[in-house]
Amino acid sequence: MSSNTHTVAVVLAGGIGVRVGLGIPKQLIKIAGKAIVEHTLEALNDSAHIDEVIIMMNEASISELDHLRTSGRFHKLSRILPGGDTRNETTQKAIAAIEGEDTKVLFHDAVRPFIDERIIKECVDALDRFDAVDTAIPSADTIIQINEERHITGIPDRSTLRRGQTPQGFRLATIRRAYEIAKGDPAFKATDDCGVVFTYLPEVPIYVVEGTPENMKVTEPIDVHIADKLFQLQSASLTLSAASGRVDLTGKTVVVFGGSYGIGHSIARQAADAGAHVREFSRSTTGTDVRSHKAVRAALAEVAADTGRIDAVIVTAGILRIAPLMETTKRELKDTIHTNLIAPAAIARESYPYLQRTGGQVVLFTSSSYTRGRANYSTYSATKAGVVNLTQALSEEWADSGVRINCINPQRTATPMRTSAFGDEPPETLLDPEDVAQVTLEVVGSDFTGQIVTVNVEAMRSGRP
């Protein structure tokens, strides 16, 4: 069999998302600024081992993917076709739409967005030697068999058990023949396509490619949260990998609110070194109060008039006061909320028209305290959680506009604001603002959106500059 055979990836997106419980088909749920099916499509479209991609979509929602046809992002996407009422019906419709008996076909769940290039390659390559290929991972749990009385009747050896994933790959003639035989069986029932081959073409060996735990299927509500975290970890890993080089911002205009010292100052300097035209605004240097919509609007208009464009708006301004809530004055409470949460929202709002023209992005800052409230800085923790939610929400609102928004989550960093709040701390436990700035500018130069990019000391010091 030739390794040059045409290879088609079929994205199975026929589900209606009853279990995930969010009122829309699960493949359309947005994570990291894009529908899950878009993340899946990106991985397949970008693979050097895939020649063509077909999406089999839930017929009632097929119009939701119309924009993918004309976006220009997916040159391998040839068709979006209505799926059937069941997984097996959807597969059969796909089989009918594909030509070439020897064609390699990979069927992949739309809601497995973390498929990687290694899995794709191994599945495609395996079809040079086998007519059917599955993807699976070892079972970490003991599997038991039970009877109708719920008594254990068997405990299979876990070392021989695997948990099935996708892609499942076939030579087209093989999977077509299996379904033709299955149609003659009034008791036909299968939960996946390898099961059809296994049952109706028992003489055909099915090779198993090793999957990954990350190649999860988003089915239950908790899966959405896990997937969101995996995207965050993935973006952080990609950003740190890229940080060994210097991003090129030549010809770009970067605006930094809160750039007079600390992380903001490092960002402004590094952006200028990368070729960007940089404008920094703060109360100490320009008299700009980020809590004032009018002041922010005037600052952005001034930059646009001077440079003709704005490509990135970075907000590092913030207030951190350590005190129990009952000992915090009303003015301190108001200042913290306005500076840390309302100001980022207002800056994002005022920046949007400029960024829409350039396909630019907003970068906000949160802190590790967003994951749970911290005693003695409860308001700060609450506002930082709000910034994360703001980032994720706006990435969805702005998905079709080309405007991106991301959030940097630095671990403890050696800044004047932190020293003022916590005093002197062991230097080896703190990030250098230069490291945080470097990662921030890599995000500016990326196509991320909706990402919460965590920067920690261990990652930056294990081979990173």
pLDDT at position 70 is: 81
The answer on 235 and 210 residing in a single domain is: no
371 falls within a domain: yes
103: CATH? 3.90.550.10
Which of 217, 250, 268 is the last residue before a domain boundary?
A: 217
Determine which helix (DSSP H) or strand (DSSP E) holds 278, and give its type and residue range.
Answer: strand 277-281
Strand partners, 155: none
Domain range for 173: 7-217
Separation between Cα atoms, residue 20 and residue 109, nearest integer Å: 15
**Helices of type H across 7-98:** 36-45, 66-70, 87-97
Separation between Cα atoms, residue 95 and residue 93, nearest integer Å: 5
Which of 192, 217, 242 is the last residue before a domain boundary?
A: 217
* Cα separations in angstroms, 220 against 17, 124, 295: 9, 29, 45
pTM for the predicted model, two decimal places: 0.73
The answer on 305 and 202 residing in a single domain is: no
Separation between Cα atoms, residue 362 and residue 183, nearest integer Å: 54
DSSP string across 199-263: HH-TTS-EEEEE--TTS----SHHHHHHHHHHHHHHHHHHHHHHTTS----TT-EEEEET-SSHH
The answer on 195 and 301 residing in a single domain is: no
Separation between Cα atoms, residue 245 and residue 389, nearest integer Å: 31
2 falls within a domain: no
Strand partners, 410: 455
The answer on 186 and 250 residing in a single domain is: no
The answer on 311 and 374 residing in a single domain is: yes
The answer on 130 and 253 residing in a single domain is: no
Is the distance from CB of 445 to CB of 278 less than 8 angstroms?
A: no
The answer on 330 and 209 residing in a single domain is: no
* Cα separations in angstroms, 14 against 34, 80, 227, 296: 18, 11, 20, 46
The answer on 247 and 127 residing in a single domain is: no
**Domain count for the chain:** 2
The answer on 227 and 156 residing in a single domain is: no
Determine which helix (DSSP H) or strand (DSSP E) holds 284, and give its type and residue range.
Answer: none
438: CATH? 3.40.50.720
The answer on 329 and 213 residing in a single domain is: no
Neighbours of 414 (CB within 10 A): 18
1 falls within a domain: no
pLDDT at position 295 is: 96
- pLDDT by residue for the chain (465 residues), tens only, comes to 445 789 999 999 976 655 544 567 888 888 877 889 999 999 999 999 999 999 999 888 898 898 888 878 899 999 999 998 888 999 999 999 999 989 999 999 999 999 999 999 999 999 999 999 999 999 989 999 999 999 999 999 999 999 999 999 999 999 999 999 999 999 898 889 999 999 999 999 999 999 999 999 998 888 888 888 787 777 666 666 656 567 899 999 999 999 888 889 999 999 999 999 999 999 999 999 999 999 999 999 999 999 999 999 999 998 888 889 999 999 999 999 999 999 999 999 999 999 999 999 999 999 877 777 778 889 999 999 999 999 989 998 998 899 999 999 888 766 777 777 667 777 676 778 888 898 899 999 988 898 888 887 665 555 444
Separation between Cα atoms, residue 123 and residue 117, nearest integer Å: 10
The answer on 439 and 393 residing in a single domain is: yes
Which of 217, 236, 251 is the last residue before a domain boundary?
A: 217
The answer on 372 and 267 residing in a single domain is: yes
